[in-house]
């Protein structure tokens, strides 16, 4: 029991390698990599990474892991994630933007001890991934 209280915060380092995957159910689907750092002296298993995504404080979409996650002790781990952007959140004025300043507000859930580590991460998304690809798929 006391072991659970000594678990240090899992650090969310960065989102990288964002790629357009397609459009499904009124959502633009992007694949990405997320780098997590485990500062603990033991391996941990995470069952979920989830985040709500905001653009100018308005709900823009969701972010979640694709695979099971093993966080090796004192090490960084890359995991595959999906970014799901609601097409209803897009506006015509966004076509002229060079980037979207997004805010990811979420958590990493580890299995044992059952604990959620909250995170907040800002990310600059190249607008071409959304606007050009979206328009080409209409």
Mean pLDDT by 10 residues, the chain (138 residues): 70 94 91 97 95 95 94 96 91 80 96 92 88 63
Do residues 13 and 104 lie in contact, with contact meaning Cβ atoms separated by under 8 Å? no
Question: In the chain, how many domains are there?
Answer: 1
Note the pLDDT of residue 135: 64
d(CA 29, CA 43): 31
Note the pLDDT of residue 137: 62
Residue 49 lies in a domain: yes
Residues spanned by the domain of 68: 2-123
Residue 136 lies in a domain: no
Question: Taking Cα atoms as reference points, which of 4, 43, 26, 41 lies closest to residue 138?
Answer: 26
Give the predicted TM-score (pTM) of the model: 0.87
Residue 15 lies in a domain: yes
Residue 63 lies in a domain: yes
Residue 66 maps to which CATH number?
A: 2.60.40.10
């Amino acid at each position: 029991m006391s072991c659970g209280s000594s678990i240090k915060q899992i650090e969310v380092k960065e989102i990288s390698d964002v790629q357009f995957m397609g459009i499904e159910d009124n959502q633009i689907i992007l694949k990405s990599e997320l780098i997590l750092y485990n500062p603990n002296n033991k391996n941990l298993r995470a069952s979920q990474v989830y985040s709500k995504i905001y653009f100018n404080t308005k709900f823009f979409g969701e972010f979640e892991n694709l695979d099971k996650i093993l966080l090796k002790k004192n090490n960084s781990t890359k995991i595959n994630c999906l970014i799901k952007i609601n097409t209803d959140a897009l506006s015509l004025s966004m076509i002229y933007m060079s980037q979207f300043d997004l805010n990811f507000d979420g958590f990493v859930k580890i299995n044992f001890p059952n604990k959620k580590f909250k995170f907040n991460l800002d990310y600059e998304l190249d607008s071409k991934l959304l606007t050009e690809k979206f328009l080409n798929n209409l």
